[in-house]
Amino acid sequence: MTNQNSSGSVLSVACDKGHNFSKPTRDSITLVAGLGVEGDAHFGKTVQHLARIKIDPDVPNLRQVHLIHAELHEELKASGYNIKPGEMGENITTQGINLLELPRGTVLIIGNEAQIEITGLRNPCRQLNDFKDGLMQAVLDKDEEGNLIRKSGVMGVVKNSGPVRAGDQIQLELPAGPHVALERV
């Protein structure tokens, strides 16, 4: 893992009570400890992802909040995809933080109150291609050893309740070492 800037900011927030692929942006969202984004389809103590509910509805919800770094949108734009915040289903679009390189257990302190603990990587799904043809492949890559890199954001759980809005500052609190790389959740 590389050294991280100790701070970044929120570019945009989004929420949708329906299980839709894209989420409309909002002026603000409210995070609720142990549950997620108030009013969002993925709000709950146990898994809310429709495909995962069918497998085991009692699994803890490690996907309460979806975050994507705005730098991914810029990378995708260079590949011909004009993606706006919320369109890939994220609740929070950040800037200035390489979310993918954070270790598991990193806490994002957003604004004065809200805190999210990073649990893992979002696993890209076929819905990306339904949204824009070829987008799923655009958010996948390989490292030097040929290992798959998933670039479609990170997932987290809410540790401390609070409002989140565009412009809020984000401070990082890295876990005690040794650090564990993010895996899909």
User: Cis (ω within 30 of 0) for the bond into 178?
Assistant: yes
Return the pLDDT at 126: 87
Residue 4, pLDDT score: 53
What's the CA gap between 160 and 184, in Å, rounded? Answer: 23
CA 121 to chain centre: 8
Confidence (pLDDT) at 5: 52
Residue 72 near residue 151, CB atoms below 8 Å:
yes
Per-domain boundaries in the chain: 7-173
CATH superfamily, region 7-173: PK beta-barrel domain-like (2.40.33.20)
Write out pLDDT tens, residues 2-16.
445 578 999 999 999
The structure's pTM equals 0.95
In angstroms, rounded to a whole number, what is the distance separating the alpha carbons of residues 27 and 16?
Answer: 13
Per-residue pLDDT tens over the stretch 107-158: 999 999 999 999 999 999 889 999 999 999 999 999 999 999 999 999 999 9
| pLDDT tens sequence across 44-84 | 999 998 888 999 999 999 999 999 999 999 999 999 999 99
122: phi then psi, degrees, rounded to nearest 5: -75, 135
